[in-house]
Chain A
Amino acid sequence: MRVRISKLVNFAIVAVCVAGVMHSASTATAQSSTGKKKVLQLPIRTDGPKRLDPAQGSTTYDNMAIVQMYETLLINKYTNPLEIEPLLLAEMPTTEDDGKTWHFKLKDGVVFYNPHKENLFGGSKTRPLTTDDVFYSLKRLADKKNQLKNWWLLENTIVGFDEYKETQNESAYFDYDAPVSGFRKISDSEFEIELVKPVYRFLYILSMFQTSIVPREAVEAFGDDFSFKPVGTGPFTLDTWVPKISLTLNRNPHYHDVRYPARDDWSRDDRRLRMHRAAGEQVPFVDRIEFTMFIEDQPMWLTFSQNDIAYTEVPAEYFEKAFDKRTRELRSELANRGVRSHSNMLLDFIFRHFNMEDPILGMYEEDGSYSEKHRAFRQAICYAVDLDEFNETFYNGLNVVYDGPIPPGLDGFPSERPESSSRGLDLVKARQKLVEAGFTVVNGKATDAPTIDFYTSRGGNNQEQTEMLERQLAEIGISINKNLVDFSTLIEFVDNKKAQFFGFAWSSDYPDAENNLALFYGPNESPGSNHGNYKRPEYDAMYQNIITMPPSSERTEIYVTMRDMILEDAPYVGSMARERFYLINPWALNFKPTERYWSWFKFVDVDDSLR
């Protein structure tokens, strides 16, 4: 009897295993043979979004998920992500007073679609978008219940809005119906917003995902669960979300009239890649999007290699598997499979900043006069640092080393090295500058230069990078005290103006060099974004001028002048920007990756016959 039972158990185990294998084989067959629904599988190279509420989102990954379901008034163009165009608006906003007051007209036919079982819209599944929704969504950024994470976008921007925020957050109940004098409703589809002062970047802010428009009924009905039950106007709706694992979206059957960009909007290079093939067609093309979160790179790479996701970023350690390092050409085994590659320059500004209020390195002497000696000292340091060596050693030579604070791709980026640049490596000039700074140079090294305190955050290869910096500066006799601290401590030192020399990086919030030039605007000094406390009156005056200017050649000229002013004063050692490489599987059509915005998946199509 015992023997029989053990045999039965053994048989059962084998049967379950066989059934498992057969089941997986059968499901695989079933999936491949369906082909009715178009499914776009996409990776998210991290643990994904934290929340799906625009007012509370802050990361790129929140953005990536949220914009599939919610939409903003304006949006970046798929054909050129550095430009913006209307999305929920019928036309671009207009102004008659040089950007102080903006007039908006909402697009017809835009509805919120509620895919959930709860009744939100009086028995209907949809409700048209109105002016009130726009004001309500912007007011949510002022409500401390939403953690005020994104309040900085609209702070000191709209007339009466800061006062409204203070008043409402101090009272027991945040009244969304209380008026804001800068919000003026003309009709359900037209409104005006008056700004405190003309600021051109306001339009970019209205293209950022945090300003997406949400329906009040859903927020109030779902409360804390609103993040898990999105109700938007976007091209997709939420199916399932397993935080940190996967996110599945279905096509929104009530999506408004959005067309694929016209043929002429595409560049010649893009047309050569047949990016215009779907010109004029209604989007989205796919029925379903399946995001998978990949915390580790290997699973993402292997999943891409198995043809199971549309594209992958190329992690640094896989670069040589994808490309010939010297020629940067795609490897033949991938090209033969039909895989395409694409690369984008990120709007990065990686640099090492001097504290311009420091008595040794700062911009001014104690009596307030401009210090030529201090500038020469800073320039000596700049000439002694070899950014190309950093690039080769730590970034496989893939970064772009450039001059000034304006990253590649933006107006004002220098096509060649400006004369005012002090970029190294040039040890001869570095030593000359040391002499100009008043130091004694013997055998190529300063004998009396002070030791500089350098701060950077722990983690990554910052320890090794700091050691390289130390070695390079030692070539001209400058020594540094290395302080590797956690990021919050670094911020604390910088905000309190205690860090003499520190490593920092900035990623542009929107594709306009004004965002980077603001890092050197005097009134933004620490604890503001001008962490180096650079102050130059003529620069500040120019900055005041450009924030009201729309893009033009005149504005670009001013950008160049400001950039060169900064280079002349050498308030930092830099600059560097990363380039991101992507591989795209042949079955993903109309695919042009960009990280400037993330709502372009609606333009992507799939061809299952190419899988």
Chain B
Amino acid sequence: MWSYIIRRLLYNIPVYLGILLLVMLALRVNDPVTAYQGKNATAEQKEQLRKDMGLDRPFLVQYGTFVSRVVTLNFKDRSWEEKRPIGQMIRAAVPPTIMITVPQLFLTASISIVIGLVCSFYRGRLPDKSLMFAAVLGMSISYLVYIMMGQYYGAYVLGGKGITPFEVEGYEPIFSFEPNAPEKASFFMPGNWMKYCALPVLIGVIVGMGYDTRFYRAVMVEECTRDYITTARAKGATNRKIMFVHMLKNAMIPIITRIMISLPFLIAGSILAEYYFNIPGMGRLLINSINSKDFPVVQYVTALFAAVVIFTVILTDVLYAVVDPRVRLS
């Protein structure tokens, strides 16, 4: 397995270098300095920024520099907009995003798989139809509407009555490592997660469940018709065992595919949730950088995202072999 992983990583090196090349070319189709500073900037101002950012050097030199910095994880280039090292910005933005997207992915997948199993078991009957109706309804309503309603009822109305601990917006870290801030001295503060992350996660789960439930139901319904299910029934296995052991095991390939596809987006974050709940995550970082034409940040975040996608694809193949002995890594 390890030789397979190393081989796949080596195969992907030229792919990744190609992606970095494309990213750099795409961001240079129009002059990034003019795009950032606007047409009112003087030639002197534009020239100064080009010089400061090394954009006056030959393209290949710029490319080499960028590749070497990405490979060595040296993200010391500074954002045009905020003048901070990009690595620092990314490091600050990843934890809030993870605090939302990981629980959201875990909960959405678990609940959707269970509902998918239940629907497949009762397929065509009232529980199946009701759950599918709820799923379609859930995904038919705009994410934005959920956010608005969640903020208003979940945080403002119910929070005001002390029923929920949710905040309308904001973010406080769950782990505190700030020796200079005695008031934040507590090391682990799960309450902060409840206050600031639980509501966005809940909304994300409600929206995501609609899509996932329909997908997992289709997978499970297909599994229901397999011979091994009939055999298990004939052997007297309980419904619970059939669903949660036999069916689930055999449905792992599409489940893993579905979950792994979502993984890179954990890094990209949930742009809408982060915007509306004022959470300083990767989604906001990326969208703010695009809006403000902060080209170095866009370049590094895209490079990071591409790396995560490549690792995910390799990891998915490895997991196939782990869950299905018939799959051989070669």
Tell me whether A491 and B39 are in contact (CB under 8 A).
Answer: yes
Is B112 on the interface with A (CB-CB < 8 A)?
Answer: no
Is A303 on the interface with B (CB-CB < 8 A)?
Answer: yes
**Complex Cα spacing A295 to B82, Å:** 17
Tell me whether A144 and B48 are in contact (CB under 8 A).
Answer: yes
Tell me whether B280 and A147 are in contact (CB under 8 A).
Answer: no
Tell me whether B155 and A302 are in contact (CB under 8 A).
Answer: yes
**In-complex Cβ contact of B190 among A20, A148, A245, A298 (8 A):** A20
Cβ–Cβ < 8 Å partners of A245 in chain B = 171, 278-280
Is B240 on the interface with A (CB-CB < 8 A)?
Answer: no
Is A227 on the interface with B (CB-CB < 8 A)?
Answer: yes
Cβ–Cβ < 8 Å partners of A293 in chain B = 278
Cβ–Cβ < 8 Å partners of B182 in chain A = none
Is B78 on the interface with A (CB-CB < 8 A)?
Answer: yes
Tell me whether B39 and A148 are in contact (CB under 8 A).
Answer: no
**Complex Cα spacing A588 to B156, Å:** 21
Is B193 on the interface with A (CB-CB < 8 A)?
Answer: yes
**Complex Cα spacing A555 to B39, Å:** 37
Contact with A along B39-73 (1 / 0, CB 8 A): 11010110011000000000000000000000000
Tell me whether B42 and A148 are in contact (CB under 8 A).
Answer: yes
Cβ–Cβ < 8 Å partners of B190 in chain A = 16-17, 19-20, 23
Is B254 on the interface with A (CB-CB < 8 A)?
Answer: no
Tell me whether B276 and A299 are in contact (CB under 8 A).
Answer: yes
Tell me whether A303 and B168 are in contact (CB under 8 A).
Answer: yes
Given known pairs A295-B275, A296-B276, the reply for A24 and B92 (CB within 8 Å) is no
**Interface of chain A: mostly helix, strand, loop or mixed:** helix
Cβ–Cβ < 8 Å partners of B171 in chain A = 245
Closest Cβ of chain A to B119, distance in Å, is 23
Cβ–Cβ < 8 Å partners of A50 in chain B = 81-82
Tell me whether B170 and A292 are in contact (CB under 8 A).
Answer: yes
**Complex Cα spacing A292 to B168, Å:** 12
**Complex Cα spacing A519 to B307, Å:** 52
**Complex Cα spacing A169 to B42, Å:** 14
Contact with B along A29-64 (1 / 0, CB 8 A): 000000000000000000100110000100000000
Is A172 on the interface with B (CB-CB < 8 A)?
Answer: no
Is A27 on the interface with B (CB-CB < 8 A)?
Answer: yes
Is B38 on the interface with A (CB-CB < 8 A)?
Answer: yes
Tell me whether B156 and A306 are in contact (CB under 8 A).
Answer: yes
Tell me whether B168 and A306 are in contact (CB under 8 A).
Answer: yes
**Complex Cα spacing A144 to B41, Å:** 12
Is A22 on the interface with B (CB-CB < 8 A)?
Answer: yes
Cβ–Cβ < 8 Å partners of B168 in chain A = 299, 302-303, 306
Tell me whether A243 and B38 are in contact (CB under 8 A).
Answer: no
Tell me whether A302 and B194 are in contact (CB under 8 A).
Answer: no
Tell me whether A51 and B82 are in contact (CB under 8 A).
Answer: yes
Is B138 on the interface with A (CB-CB < 8 A)?
Answer: no
Given known pairs A299-B151, A302-B151, the reply for A25 and B165 (CB within 8 Å) is yes
**Complex Cα spacing A144 to B44, Å:** 8
Tell me whether B45 and A22 are in contact (CB under 8 A).
Answer: no
Is B214 on the interface with A (CB-CB < 8 A)?
Answer: no
Tell me whether B152 and A227 are in contact (CB under 8 A).
Answer: no
B170: nearest residue on chain A (CB-CB)? A292
Tell me whether A302 and B152 are in contact (CB under 8 A).
Answer: yes
**Complex Cα spacing A429 to B193, Å:** 66
Tell me whether A27 and B191 are in contact (CB under 8 A).
Answer: yes
Closest Cβ of chain A to B86, distance in Å, is 13
Is B300 on the interface with A (CB-CB < 8 A)?
Answer: no
**Complex Cα spacing A362 to B4, Å:** 76
**Complex Cα spacing A229 to B78, Å:** 16
Tell me whether B83 and A302 are in contact (CB under 8 A).
Answer: no
Q: Which 9 pairs across A and B sit closest by C-beta, in order of nearness?
A: A23-B191, A24-B191, A20-B194, A20-B190, A299-B169, A488-B39, A24-B165, A245-B280, A302-B156
- A-B contacts, 6 of them at CB < 8 A, read A24-B195, A227-B83, A242-B92, A243-B84, A244-B288, A299-B151
- A residues within 8 Å of B by Cβ? 16-17, 19-27, 47, 50-51, 56, 144-145, 147-148, 169, 224, 227-228, 240, 242-246, 292-296, 298-299, 302-303, 305-306, 488-489, 491-492
13 further contact pairs, Cβ within 8 A, besides A23-B192, A245-B278: A19-B191, A20-B165, A20-B194, A22-B191, A24-B192, A25-B191, A245-B171, A245-B279, A294-B278, A299-B168, A303-B168, A491-B39, A491-B40
